[in-house]
């Protein structure tokens, strides 16, 4: 996450912040995706090693190796214990990892961010947009968040269109730091729970 995020910083009450942390600690599944385990490192590395998957994402480890992916998973398991992060994996029928979802949370603001990617074989089928919408809805409902803040690189047109299409508000630009200390410019979007429910609530 960029240190400037979220853009909107409305302090949550102590009770709300603790409820968010507790919800993160108890989460085991997001839709059809399950929590990542250390033994998933090789399969997740296979997915992430494709430039079509990792190139647009600043939050992935650098350099990208099976060991750094194992550390990535372990970090998320530790984040889950303190209620600030989750890593979910989507599996195919044969156990191949076809996607991942990286949930980062700011309990003190009742806010969160979703990152992730799908296997290239699933690109262009609309499953990414459907999955993102389902994941955002889950974050608001299951984690009790009041705000979701998203970023995308300046040249990541697909994610920009997805967030604009879902009704997220553009909030400007920040500098996002990668794990190796390098940086990139990122566009920022936000949406509140009430805004989401107004646009996406099912009757």
User: Pseudo-torsion of CA 134, 140, 141, 146, nearest 10°?
Assistant: -170
User: Would you say residue 34 lies in a domain?
Assistant: yes
CATH number, position 73: 3.40.630.30
User: Would you say residue 96 lies in a domain?
Assistant: yes
Output the tens digit of pLDDT for each of the chain's 203 residues: 557 899 999 999 999 999 999 999 999 999 999 999 999 999 999 999 998 888 888 899 999 999 999 999 999 999 999 999 999 999 988 889 999 999 999 999 999 999 998 887 766 665 667 888 999 999 999 999 999 999 999 988 989 999 999 999 999 999 988 777 888 899 999 999 999 999 887 64
Strand partners, 99: 90, 118
User: Would you say residue 27 lies in a domain?
Assistant: yes
User: Would you say residue 32 lies in a domain?
Assistant: yes
Cα–Cα distance between 129 and 6 in angstroms, integer? Answer: 22
User: Would you say residue 66 lies in a domain?
Assistant: yes
User: Would you say residue 122 lies in a domain?
Assistant: yes
Residues contacting 102, CB < 8 A, separation 6+: 59, 76, 85, 86, 87, 114, 115, 116
User: Residue 134's domain spans which residues?
Assistant: 14-147
What is the dihedral sign for C-alpha 58, 43, 78, 150? positive
Residue 191 CA: distances (Å) to CA of 66, 87, 111: 35, 22, 10
Q: What pLDDT shows up at residue 203? A: 46
User: Would you say residue 65 lies in a domain?
Assistant: yes
Contacts from 153-161 at CB under 8 Å and sequence distance 24+?
Answer: 153/56, 153/58, 153/184, 153/185, 153/186, 153/187, 154/185, 154/186, 154/187, 156/56, 158/128, 159/56, 160/187
Instruction: State how many domains the chain has.
Output: 1
Residue 121 CA: distances (Å) to CA of 10, 128, 158, 168: 40, 11, 16, 27
- For the entire predicted model, the pTM comes to 0.93
User: Would you say residue 193 lies in a domain?
Assistant: no
Q: Are 73 and 41 in contact (CB under 8 A)?
A: yes
Cα–Cα distance between 74 and 120 in angstroms, integer? Answer: 25
């Amino acid at each position: 996450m960029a240190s400037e995020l979220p853009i909107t910083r409305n302090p949550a009450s102590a009770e709300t912040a603790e409820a968010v942390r507790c919800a993160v600690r108890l989460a085991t599944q997001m839709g059809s995706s399950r929590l990542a385990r250390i033994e998933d490192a090789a399969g997740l590395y296979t997915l992430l090693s494709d430039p079509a998957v990792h190139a647009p994402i600043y939050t992935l480890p650098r350099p990208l190796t099976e060991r750094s992916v194992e550390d990535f998973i372990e970090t998320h398991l530790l984040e889950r214990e303190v209620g600030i992060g989750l890593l979910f994996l989507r599996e195919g029928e044969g156990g191949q990892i076809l996607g991942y979802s990286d949930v980062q949370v700011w309990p003190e603001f009742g806010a969160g961010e979703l990152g992730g990617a799908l296997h290239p074989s699933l690109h262009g089928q609309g499953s990414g947009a459907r999955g993102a919408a389902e994941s955002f809805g889950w974050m608001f409902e299951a984690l009790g968040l009041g705000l979701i803040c998203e970023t995308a690189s300046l040249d990541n047109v697909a994610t920009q269109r997805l967030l604009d299409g879902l009704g997220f508000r553009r909030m400007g630009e920040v500098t996002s730091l990668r794990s190796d200390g390098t940086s990139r410019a990122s566009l920022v979007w936000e949406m509140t729970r009430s805004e989401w429910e107004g646009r996406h609530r099912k009757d």
